[in-house]
Amino acid sequence: MSGHEYTAPVPGLEAVEVPEPGAVTIVVPTFNESANIRRLLRQITEAVPARLPCEVVFVDDSTDDTPEVIRDAAQDCPFPVAVLHREEPVGGLGGAVVEGLKAATSEWIVVMDGDCQHPPSLVPELVATGERANAALVVASRYIEGGSRAGLAGSYRVAVSRGATWLTKALFPRRLHGISDPMSGFFAIRRSAVTAEALKPLGYKILLELAVRSRPRQVAEVPFVFQDRFAGESKSSAQEGLRFLRHLAGLRTASPVARMVGFGLIGASGFVPNLAGLWALTALGLHYVPAEILANQFGVAWNFLLIEHLLFRDRRAHRRWWDRLGRFALLANADLVLRIPLIALLVGRFGMGALPATALALVLTFVLRFVGTEALVYLPRRRGNRTTARRAV
């Protein structure tokens, strides 16, 4: 295969095509990795084409000269190289991988980082293992025999990686069955096993997103030694950690039942700011009745913030924030107004005791509030609009 370079126009993604499809497309998301590009392409050249025809797609969110370095370095490559530069890094590095999946033309797609911590020499083995095992996903794991996390700098990053791995496997025991390293950014997946439009990445842990939403039918693993970063700095940060936790919450609450449970837990947590507000207002001398009404608004605001960021992050674009807040507050306060007449009805009309009537009223108004919040505050957008918005980036 001869080396070529195909660069997408900056504003759009639709024009991206990689001719001369190989047996594998290597997708590399990059953010300011210009110092690593030449070394990475040289390693790919030395390890992959002789064993497996390939093409490389860089999806770049850089603010430095990384795209220009890729264009220049591609001239010496014996395989096609594409660079797709995004003006807005929607979804972070995970979003970049999704665009790479859309641009890939091969049946096998290998995702790897651009910092030279993932050895390209393992690419043929990933694909060969997938073929031998008839697997849809093959993960390069640091946590099976023969693997190592040696390239993680410092005990802090090791602890964070271990903790994140434990947390994700605890939250998704069935969907991550057979995956010892769900935090790995190095893996091979069959293009036929991925529906890119169904993915909603947030941050850089795209393997977790793929495993949970795409549910590959068969998974295999190969060990790999995590290398030291060649140049530049790690993109891990406290902000990325928070995005990871939000991503976990979004994945865990994807089903209506899980969202309802999360809705209830968030509602219960709202008692803390509610009671704290009531204590502060009465301590200032306010009568307990208006204090209770005002304190309830503290709980409403607390619940709204958590629900916005943990349960309905993907459904916020169709209404402005003040519209969502107003509707949510109306529903939350209507709950108080509805509950007392409902208790009176259950006691007076149906002869229930006050305690069971109150418990039943709480359950009924909770369900009504959850359904009302989904239907009146966070109506899902139409699929066509979502696709249009993604492509308009």
Percent of the chain with pLDDT strictly greater than 90: 19
Q: What is the pLDDT of residues 56-77, one digit of tens each?
A: 999 998 888 889 999 999 998 9
pTM value surpassing 0.75: no
Residue 229 has a pLDDT of 60
Give the CB-side neighbour count of residue 272, counting CA atoms within 13 A: 7
3-state secondary structure of 160: helix
Q: For the residues 188-207, what does the mean pLDDT come to? A: 79
Spell out the residues 6+ positions from residue 86 whose beta carbon is closer than 8 angstroms to its own.
13, 59, 60, 61, 95, 96, 99, 393
User: Higher model confidence: residue 269 or residue 391?
Assistant: 269
Residue 382 has a pLDDT of 52
Spell out the residues 6+ positions from residue 309 whose beta carbon is closer than 8 angstroms to its own.
246, 249
Cβ burial of 377 (10 Å; 0-12, 13-18, 19+) is buried
Q: Can you list the positions of beta strands (E) in the chain?
A: 5-7, 24-30, 54-60, 81-85, 108-111, 137-141, 187-190, 219-223
3-state secondary structure of 222: strand
Whole-number mean pLDDT of the chain? Answer: 79
User: Higher model confidence: residue 104 or residue 258?
Assistant: 104
Q: What is the pLDDT of residues 224-247, one digit of tens each?
A: 988 766 555 555 556 666 777 777
Cβ burial of 256 (10 Å; 0-12, 13-18, 19+) is exposed
Q: What is the pLDDT of residues 285-318, one digit of tens each?
A: 888 778 877 887 888 889 899 888 777 877 777 7
Distance CA 282, CA 295 (A): 10
pLDDT tops 90 at residue 147: no
Cβ burial of 18 (10 Å; 0-12, 13-18, 19+) is buried
Tokens of 364: 């009924």
